[in-house]
Amino acid sequence: MNGVRIDKWLWAARFFKTRALASRACELGRVQSNGVVAKAAREVRTGDLLQVRNEGGDFVIEVLTLSEIRGPAAAAQGLYRETDESKAARAKVAEERKAMFAAEAAPASRPSKRDRREINRFRGR
């Protein structure tokens, strides 16, 4: 196997839940292959460097093996290797998000009916 469609590989490597989501991410420019924005039909080969942005964060990964079949998570993690810089950046973002959440004061009680109506009015509902 020389190459696999990038949307199939991203789905098999479990970066996206469905192949349609992987192909949509490619359309939106959230996937780069060797520094170039990748379309869904682009072939990925072993040794390629991919940058993937999804709800889990920004990943910079190197492709180790190819697969068109979605298997268990343990097998999917063997398809790629994440760079150390990527791991550190994702850990930093997670730590910042955690610190920001901890800094917010939790409300003393549930909002009253009047408060909920004001919240809905503020949100435009």
Domains of the chain: 4-105 (3.10.290.10)
Q: Confidence class of residue 97 from pLDDT cuts 50, 70 and 90?
A: confident
Mean pLDDT, range 94-118, rounded to an integer: 87
* Letter string b/e over residues 20-42, b meaning 16 or more CB atoms within 10 A of that residue's CB: ebbbebbeeebbbbeeeebebeb
Say what the pLDDT of residue 116 is. 93
Say what the pLDDT of residue 56 is. 85
pLDDT at 104 over 80: no
CA dihedral 110, 95, 72, 48 (to 10 degrees): 140
Whole-number percent of the chain with pLDDT over 90? 82
Mean pLDDT, range 104-108, rounded to an integer: 79
